Amino acid sequence: MSHLFPNYKRKELALIKGDKNRLTDQSGKNYLDFTSGIGVANLGYNDPKLNQVLVEQSKLLWHTPNLYENQLQEEVAKKLANGKEYVSYFCNSGAEANEAAIKLARKATGKSKIITFINSFHGRTYGAMSATGQNSIHTGFEPLVPDFVYLPFNEIEPLKNEIDPHTAAVMLELIQGEGGVLPADESWIQAVQSLCKEYGVLLIIDEIQTGIGRTGNFYAHGYYQIEPDIFTLAKGLGNGIPVGAMVGKANLAAFFGPGSHGSTFGGNNLAMSVASIVVERINHPDFLQEVQNRSQQLFTGLNQLAEKNKLIKAVRGKGLMLGLEFSDQETLNVILDQLEIEGLLALKAGQTVLRLLPPLTVTETEIDEGLMIIEHVLNNLASRTLLSKKEIDNE
């Protein structure tokens, strides 16, 4: 028997080794990785520089409690502020970053209502789960944290009707990741920010999946030309070393005074030493330009494929966060299994979306290789589906 809780649906596949943008399983089979471990390993695997800083820091000091000054935290926080007036709080995961954001929003405004959106995903702890607009994630865990209201994404009228002087914050993902790779409309985001300003409501952007270069901008909110009051980070920040951050405008700092919030491991030295290099490397115009080039290559290839192959209903996303919509769950599951057999690891989002999150270091040749595998699998499936349709017609 397994001694693990069965809370994850696991594939019969154990990955034991990684190098650059490829992974190896227990049988020695190699895969091109279009998952980045769910948007985590943005710089791929076995990166010599990241390995080096981790080993060096491990010999110096693993942990220091947050009772003392921490230069590594200061260094990463400064890099995350990106020249703007932002301050950071460090934790160990995305859910924890959102917990901090929710607590800060309540404390800073003295209000409790937080508006979030249907199909959102903000994490699994009580606050973050309560913020998540998906019934299936709430089932069996009620009562939730009170005063969360879920509204339709990309619609302004419902928000106009709901936002009021009792609202502490509006919280959203700029591209709903787990929900199905659904990008927010630019005009909608502008309108959301205006409404927040009008009512003195904090705007919280969950950049846990979209941040750290994933969309071809260091932060996705850079595309939307907004300045969130608070934004949260995790997945790509440590390239696999657990770390999260809640970043807020400096005028919110006073509301998180000594004793208000904390974490034993938050801002751990090993995590900070790695995060510092990750941020430095990714938040560079040349690096981000290259992400945009690879993105364009992948989008072009997938759009061309979608024109020929009717199984694909839509191609969406930004940067190297892409979603391919299919008509039903069974088709998607078959595709994912076939891709794996052909040596390409990909992800699911929602029920019907194939999600691609390659490492940001993916090469031109590897994008071509990935596209070829996807085309091969989809064309095979399309001709099989055609065949079985003919068989049905003949009967």
Ligand X SMILES: *Cc1c(COP(=O)(O)O)cnc(C)c1O
Binding stretches for ligand X (CB under 6 A): 93-95, 98, 121-123, 173, 177-178, 206, 208-209, 234-235
Residue with Cβ nearer ligand X (159 or 245) = 245
Query: What's the min distance (Å) between Cβ of 131 and ligand X?
Result: 9
The response to whether 207 counts as a known ligand-binding position is yes
The response to whether 194 counts as a known ligand-binding position is no
Query: What's the min distance (Å) between Cβ of 294 and ligand X?
Result: 21
Angle at CA 30, nearest 5°, toward 243 and 43?
A: 30
121 is a catalytic site residue: yes
> How far are the Cα atoms of 164, 167, 204, 221 from residue 197, in angstroms, in the given order?
12, 12, 12, 16
DSSP 8-state secondary structure symbol assigned to residue 205: E
Using CA atoms of 156, 161, 165, 166 in order, give the dihedral in degrees to the nearest 10.
-100
The response to whether 263 counts as a known ligand-binding position is yes
Query: What's the min distance (Å) between Cβ of 361 and ligand X?
Result: 20
The response to whether 259 counts as a known ligand-binding position is no
Q: From the candidates 34, 121, 153, 326, which is the catalytic residue?
A: 121
Residue with Cβ nearer ligand X (122 or 294) = 122
Residue with Cβ nearer ligand X (127 or 370) = 127
The response to whether 41 counts as a known ligand-binding position is no
206 is a catalytic site residue: yes
Contact indicator for 270, 54 with CB cutoff of 8 Å: yes
Strand arrangement, sheet containing 314-318: 314-318, 321-325, 353-356, 347-349
Residue with Cβ nearer ligand X (94 or 323) = 94
Q: From the candidates 117, 235, 256, 326, which is the catalytic residue?
A: 235
Using CA atoms of 265, 97, 362, 334 in order, give the dihedral in degrees to the nearest 10.
110
Query: What's the min distance (Å) between Cβ of 200 and ligand X?
Result: 25
DSSP 8-state secondary structure symbol assigned to residue 283: S
> How far are the Cα atoms of 88, 131, 182, 222 from residue 256, in angstroms, in the given order?
11, 21, 33, 26
Contact indicator for 178, 198 with CB cutoff of 8 Å: no
Active site residue ranges: 121, 206, 235
Binding residues are 94-95, 121, 124, 206-209, 263-264
Binding residues for N(2)-acetyl-L-ornithine are 124, 263
